Amino acid sequence: MGNHDLFTAIRLVEFLLYPAGLLLSFRLRHRTMAEAAAAALITTLLLFSLFQMAARVLPLPGICFLPEAGGISAFFLGWKCRKGAKRILGDLANFLPRRHPVILLFFALCWGYMGARAIFFVPHFFHFAAFDTLSRAAGTGGFPSSAMLISGHFPGADSPMGAGLPGFFAYISLLFSTYALSRRYSWVPVSFTVTVVVASMPWFVFHGVTPGGEILPAAVALFSLLTVYRLIETPTPLDFCLAACCLGFLFSHGNGAFVFSLVMTVLFCVLMIRRHGFSPVALAKHHWRTAVVSILPALFFSRFWTGIPAVFSGVEKNREGLAGAAANFLGYVISSLDAPFLLDLVEAGPAASSAVLGFLENIWFSAASVLFTQSSSVPVFQLFRNGGAGGSWFGPLAFFLVQPAVVIALFRGPRRLKAVALALAVYVYLGCLIPEWHPGNGVFFSFFYAMAGFFTAFLLPPWRLGRRAQRGLQIICLLILVHSCLAL
């Protein structure tokens, strides 16, 4: 084994030690298994982003060894909390027998395949461009996105072994956070079904084996909502710090993450004030230590010294006002059906695929002809004719289950769920109003579908979704997940 291979192996071991040690630590802090796993994975990613950021901002000798020092600390933390491992194994032993063993085995094989693809990462051309951007930013004062900073822990594009682990960690964290939030509104079987609905969404699968520049902000956003739920139920300084760091991380990412961080901050303040009556005076008087410990790393994550990030960058802006926003909304609704993926899943022929996609495009053009005036320039609307990571959205279940769940919760859900649904509606409105429609704008709506996935638990309680229906839905999710894995 050469020095380069040894260096790569050490980096991989470091990256795996963090979530193992943090999982035991969070589990012993009165968190459920799902909450502890989500917190361990997101905290690992935030720490590595912080390490890479510190190495570029602080010109101190030896600061590049922060990940190694943290890895040693995680090892000793796991050793100190090793007795909690028995509790974790017991939790798994109690949970697994309740699932259908054959279906669970196939899901485990798919997730194992994704993990292997993440470790033995094969970059595409756009990943090489991201690595080049990261290399150019090192030592020049320029900054890539907060999510892409984590890739700096790995050797680079010439030997990117393990470079897909950040995206895989974000994907798994997304599932644990979805399950933890679903348990607030449903029993274990329905929560498991809701989790596999999110797990099968093609966009998350495709980006779950990459360096994580696209999926990580969505996972952080969902985890921040989970911490807000915990703060409403039992406020602790650690959860307050995690929530603040997540919002700072989203602020610095730019694109839709910046807009979403503002929406989440308003939602966080409103829910906390309504539940606990927090005010700036009370916070400064009774919780100033927690505020200082939380705000300082959040400000560092936000990189406020670099200015306000770009908003929905990389696409043309909507110039037609509300008419353009309405047309964009219809375009996103049609795109959310993910017809190209569905046609590819059922192996439809070229003629049938073209006919279906042409029909959907004609629906949009018929509506656009009514919305736009003669002097307006009607934007181009075209669905991708092929599947894969470039053209896929979030699968047909997002259209038939997740979107109706948000609409129903907005009118008939509990107050807290209504508030989250309203925040999502505001973000969708801004996403339709500011950028012009483009097939690649699915990245902006990753926040919506990541945070809306657990709404399905409210839509499908056990008395609406029986055991056979749950099993059938799980099989559909498994077929979509297998098809997405084969397309990686």
Least confident of 6-15, 109-118, 441-450: 6-15
Q: Does pLDDT of 291 surpass 50? A: yes
Structure tokens at 337: 């059906």
Within a domain: 273: yes
- The verdict on 471 and 452 lying in the same domain is no
What is the C-alpha to C-alpha distance for residues 192 and 209, in angstroms, rounded to an integer?
22
DSSP assignment letter at 306:
G
pLDDT value, residue 50: 81
The whole-number pLDDT of residue 186 equals 87
The first and second tokens of residue 90, run together, are 């017991």
Does residue 337 sit within a domain?
yes
In tens, the pLDDT along 5-27 reads: 666 677 777 778 888 888 888 88
Helix, strand, or coil (residue 328):
helix
Q: Which structural domain, as residue segments, surrounds residue 438? A: 321-456
Tokens of 165: 């682990």
Higher pLDDT, 364 or 76: 364
pLDDT at residue 482 in the model: 93
User: How crowded is residue 113: how many other Cβ atoms within 10 Å of its Cβ?
Assistant: 16
- What pLDDT is attached to residue 400? 92
485 within a domain of the structure (yes/no): no
Beta bridge partners of 317: 435
- Highest mean predicted confidence (pLDDT) among 1-10, 71-80, 158-167, 242-251: 242-251
Do 294 and 158 lie in one domain? The reply is: yes
Question: What total of structural domains would you count in the chain?
Answer: 2
Average pLDDT taken over every residue of the chain: 79
For residue 379, what pLDDT band results from cuts at 50, 70 and 90?
low
Angle subtended by helix axes 237-253 and 33-57, to nearest 10: 50
Please tell me whether residues 270 and 384 are part of one structural domain.
Answer: no
For the ranges 149-163, 308-322, 345-359, 469-483, the maximum mean pLDDT occurs at 469-483
- pTM reported for the whole predicted model: 0.89
Can you give the pLDDT at residue 284? 58
Q: Does residue 214 have a pLDDT over 80?
A: yes
Residue 270: predicted pLDDT: 82
Tell whether 401 is covered by a domain: yes
Do residues 182 and 268 share a domain? Answer: yes
Asked whether residue 207 falls in the same domain as residue 354, the answer is no
- The total number of residues written for the chain in this structure: 488
Domain match, 296 and 332 both: no
Tokens of 448: 């919506």
Share in percent of the chain as helix, strand, coil (round to 5): 75, 0, 25
Q: Which residue has better confidence, 281 or 173?
A: 173
For residue range 220-275, what is the model confidence (pLDDT) as tens digits? Answer: 999 999 999 998 888 888 888 898 888 888 887 767 788 888 888 888 888 877 77
pLDDT level of residue 488 (50, 70, 90 thresholds): confident
7 shares a domain with 113: yes
Identify whether 90 is part of a domain: no
Domain contains 95: no
Is 344 contained in some domain?
yes
How many angstroms separate the Cα of 255 from the Cα of each of 48, 268, 286, 445? 21, 21, 36, 11
